[in-house]
Amino acid sequence: MSQLETDIKNLIIEALGLEDMGPDDIDSEQPLFGDGLGLDSVDALELGLAIQKRFGIKIDAEAKDTRTHFANVARLAAYVSASKAA
């Protein structure tokens, strides 16, 4: 697990108030929504805002591939890494 993935897992826990979880409880390939971690649309908004603030990137909520980027921690880490490099 990369440091960025760990940072994102910690951010998910902090931003969404999942105090009973630790980074090791979230699999990087586990879906964040639905049957995976169980996040909903409100969680997505809160997480998106937290990601933008923490990593200084812009997330276009209307972009068609935004859902793909938020599919799991691994994809979100790749998106953050690519956005910071751009």
Domain ranges of the chain: 3-85
End-to-end CA distance of the chain: 23
Q: Could you report the per-residue pLDDT of 10-22, keeping only the tens digit for each?
A: 999 999 999 899 9
Predicted confidence band of residue 72 (pLDDT cuts 50, 70, 90): very high
This prediction has a pTM of: 0.91
Average pLDDT, the chain: 93
Kindly compute the dihedral angle of the four CA atoms of residues 31, 32, 37, 38, in this order, to the nearest 10 degrees: -110
Domain 3-85 belongs to what architecture? Orthogonal Bundle (1.10)
28, 27, 83: which is closest to 56 by C-alpha?
Answer: 83
Q: How far apart are CA 15 and CA 82, in angstroms?
A: 22
Q: How far apart are CA 36 and CA 28, in angstroms?
A: 11
The per-residue pLDDT for 84 is: 85
The per-residue pLDDT for 62 is: 83
